[in-house]
Amino acid sequence: MDVGPLPQLIVSGILTGLLFALISVGLTLIFGVMDVVNFAHGEFLMLAMYATFGLGLIGLNPILALPVVVVAMFVLGALVYRFFVKRLLAGPPEAVVFGTFGLLVFLQGAAQFFFTSDYRSVLNPPFSGTLHLGGIAIGEAQLAAGLGALVLIAAIFGFVEYTEPGRALRALSEDRVAAQLMGIDVQRMNAFAFGLGIACTGAAGALLMLTYQAYPRIGTEFALTAFVVVALGGFGSVHGVLLGALLVGLVEVLGGYYIAPALKMLPVYALYLAVVFLRPQGLLGRR
Amino acid sequence: MTVQRHVAVMACVLAATALFTAFCHDQFLLSLAFTGLIFAVLGQSWNWISGYAGQVSFGHALFFGTGAYASALFATHHGSPWLALACGAAVAVVLALLVGFPCFALRGHYFSIATIAVAAIAEIVVVNTDALGKANGFELPILPPGLASLQFAGKAPYVLVALVLFAAAQIATVALEHSRTGYYLRAIRANQEAAASVGVDARAVKVTAFAGAAAFAALAGSLYAQQTLFVDAESTLGLSVSIAIALVGVVGGIGTVWGPPLGAFVYTFLARYVAALYGGHGRGFDLLLYGALILAIVSVQPEGIAGIARRFRART
Amino acid sequence: MSDEPLLRVRGLEKRFGELRALDGFDLDVAEGRLTALIGPNGAGKTTAFACIAGAQRPSAGSVRFKGREVAGLPYHRIARLGVARTYQVVQTFDAMSVVEAVTVGALLRRPKLSEARAWADEILGFVGLHAKRTMLGRSLTIADKKRLELARALSTEPRLILLDEVMAGLTPTECADAVKLLRSILARGVTILMVEHVMEVLMPLADRVVVLAAGKPIFAGSPQAAAADPLVIEAYLGRP
**Per-residue model confidence (pLDDT) at position A133:** 80
Q: Which residue from C minimizes the CA distance to B204?
A: C76
Domain count within chain B: 1
CB contact under 8 A, B120 and A280: no
Burial B59-88 (b: 16+ CB within 10 A, else e): bbbbbbbbbbbbbbbbbeeeeebeebbbbb
If we measure between CA atoms, which residue out of C125, C79, A251 comes closest to residue B117?
A251
pLDDT 10s digits, A118-160: 899 888 788 888 888 877 888 899 999 999 999 999 999 999 8
Chain C residues closer than 8 Å to B179 by CB: 113
Chain C residues closer than 8 Å to B310 by CB: none
Residue B66 lies in a domain: yes
Give the span between the Cα atoms of C104 and C106, in whole angstroms: 6
pLDDT band at B316 (very low <50, low <70, confident <90, very high): very low
Distance of CA C7 to the CA centre of its chain: 13
**Per-residue model confidence (pLDDT) at position B254:** 86
Interface size, chain B vs chain C, as Cβ–Cβ contacts under 8 Å: 79
Chain C residues closer than 8 Å to B191 by CB: 91-94
Partner-chain residue, chosen from B114, B243, B286, that has the shortest CB–CB distance to A273: B114
Please state the rounded mean pLDDT for residues A263-280: 89
Whether C98 has a pLDDT exceeding 60, the answer reads: yes
Give the span between the Cα atoms of C109 and B117, in whole angstroms: 39
Average pLDDT value for chain A: 89
Compute how many other C-beta atoms are within 10 angstroms of the C-beta atom of residue C220. 15
Residues C166, C240 within the same domain: yes
CB contact under 8 A, C95 and B186: yes
CB contact under 8 A, B302 and A95: yes
CB contact under 8 A, C113 and B191: no
Partner-chain residue, chosen from B120, B295, B298, that has the shortest CB–CB distance to A269: B120
Residue A133 lies in a domain: no
Partner-chain residue, chosen from B190, B191, B196, that has the shortest CB–CB distance to C76: B196
pLDDT band at C240 (very low <50, low <70, confident <90, very high): very low
Q: Which of the other chains make 3 or more beta carbon contacts under 8 angstroms with chain B?
A: A, C
Mutate to test the interface with C, among B185, B186, B198 (most CBs of C within 10 A): B198
CB contact under 8 A, B286 and A109: yes
Residues C104, C222 within the same domain: no
| Higher per-residue pLDDT: A161 or A69 | A69
CB contact under 8 A, C93 and B186: yes
Residue A61 lies in a domain: yes
Residue B316 lies in a domain: no
pLDDT 10s digits, B44-65: 999 999 999 999 999 999 999 9
Residue A35 lies in a domain: yes
| Higher per-residue pLDDT: A220 or A202 | A202
- Which domain does A160 fall in, by range? 12-122+142-218
CB contact under 8 A, C113 and B184: no
CB contact under 8 A, B187 and C79: no
Question: Does B176 reach chain C within 8 Å, measured CB to CB?
Answer: no
- Which domain does C136 fall in, by range? 92-157
pLDDT 10s digits, A98-121: 889 889 989 998 998 899 888 998
Residue A238 lies in a domain: no
**Per-residue model confidence (pLDDT) at position C2:** 58
Whether B148 has a pLDDT exceeding 80, the answer reads: yes
Distance from CA of B155 to the nearest CA of A (A): 29
Residue A20 lies in a domain: yes
Residue C87 lies in a domain: no
Residues C35, C146 within the same domain: no
CB contact under 8 A, B110 and A281: yes
Which burial class, exposed, middle or buried, applies to A195 when counting CB atoms under 10 A from its CB (0-12, 13-18, 19+)?
buried
Residue A231 lies in a domain: no
Mutate to test the interface with B, among C92, C93, C138, C140 (most CBs of B within 10 A): C93
Residue B266 lies in a domain: no
| Higher per-residue pLDDT: A283 or B311 | A283
Please state the rounded mean pLDDT for residues A91-103: 83
Residues C140, C205 within the same domain: no
Distance from CA of B292 to the nearest CA of C (A): 28
Please state the rounded mean pLDDT for residues B126-135: 87
Give the span between the Cα atoms of C83 and C104, in whole angstroms: 15
Residues C116, C40 within the same domain: no
Residues C142, C98 within the same domain: yes
Residues C171, C196 within the same domain: yes
The answer to which of A84-88, B291-295, C80-84 has the lowest mean pLDDT is B291-295
Residues C96, C76 within the same domain: no
> What DSSP assignment string belongs to chain A?
---TTHHHHHHHHHHHHHHHHHHHHHHHHHHHHH----TTHHHHHHHHHHHHHHHHHTT--HHHHHHHHHHHHHHHHHHHIIIIIHHHHTS-HHHHHHHHHHHHHHHHHHHHHHH-S--B--SS-S---EEEETTEEEEHHHHHHHHHHHHHHHHHHHHHHHSHHHHHHHHHHH-HHHHHHTT--HHHHHHHHHHHHHHHHHHHHHHHTTT--B-TTHHHHHHHHHHHHHHHH-TT-HHHHHHHHHHHHHHHHHHHHHT-GGGTHHHHHHHHHHHHHH-TT-SS---
Whether B281 has a pLDDT exceeding 60, the answer reads: no
Residue A72 lies in a domain: yes
Distance from CA of A109 to the nearest CA of B (A): 4
Chain B residues closer than 8 Å to C103 by CB: 183
Please state the rounded mean pLDDT for residues B257-268: 91
- Domain's final residue, options C157, C186, C212: C157
Q: Which residue from B minimizes the CA distance to C151?
A: B198
CB C100 within 8 A of CB B183: yes
pLDDT 10s digits, B72-105: 999 888 889 999 999 999 999 999 999 999 999 9
Residue B128 lies in a domain: yes
Chain B residues closer than 8 Å to A224 by CB: 116, 120, 239
Strand ranges across the sheet with C191-195? C83-85, C160-164, C191-195, C34-38, C208-213, C216-221
Whether C96 has a pLDDT exceeding 50, the answer reads: yes
**Strand locations in chain B, DSSP E?**
138-139, 230-231
| Higher per-residue pLDDT: A39 or C18 | A39
- Domain's final residue, options C135, C157, C179: C157
Whether A1 has a pLDDT exceeding 60, the answer reads: no
Q: Which residue from B minimizes the CA distance to C110?
A: B180
| Higher per-residue pLDDT: B116 or A287 | B116
Collect all residues from C whose CB is shorter than 8 A from any CB in B: 53, 55, 74-77, 79-80, 84-85, 87, 91-96, 100-101, 103-105, 107-108, 111, 113, 116, 137, 152-153, 155-156
Residues C54, C170 within the same domain: yes
Chain B residues closer than 8 Å to A272 by CB: 113-114, 117
Residue A286 lies in a domain: no
CB contact under 8 A, A98 and B284: no
ipTM score for this prediction: 0.92
Residues C12, C24 within the same domain: yes
| Higher per-residue pLDDT: B311 or A48 | A48
Beta-bridge partner residues of A138: A131
pLDDT 10s digits, A166-202: 888 888 887 777 887 787 888 899 999 999 999 999 9
Question: Does B164 reach chain C within 8 Å, measured CB to CB?
Answer: no
Residues C129, C19 within the same domain: no
**Per-residue model confidence (pLDDT) at position C143:** 87
CB contact under 8 A, C105 and B196: no
Residue B30 lies in a domain: yes
Domain count within chain A: 1
The CATH number of the domain where C28 resides is what?
3.40.50.300
The answer to which of A26-30, A87-91, C96-100 has the lowest mean pLDDT is A87-91
Domain count within chain C: 2
pLDDT over 90, % of chain A: 52
Chain A residues closer than 8 Å to B295 by CB: 84, 99, 102-103, 106
Q: Which residue from A minimizes the CA distance to B107?
A: A280
CB contact under 8 A, B116 and A111: no
Residues C40, C129 within the same domain: no
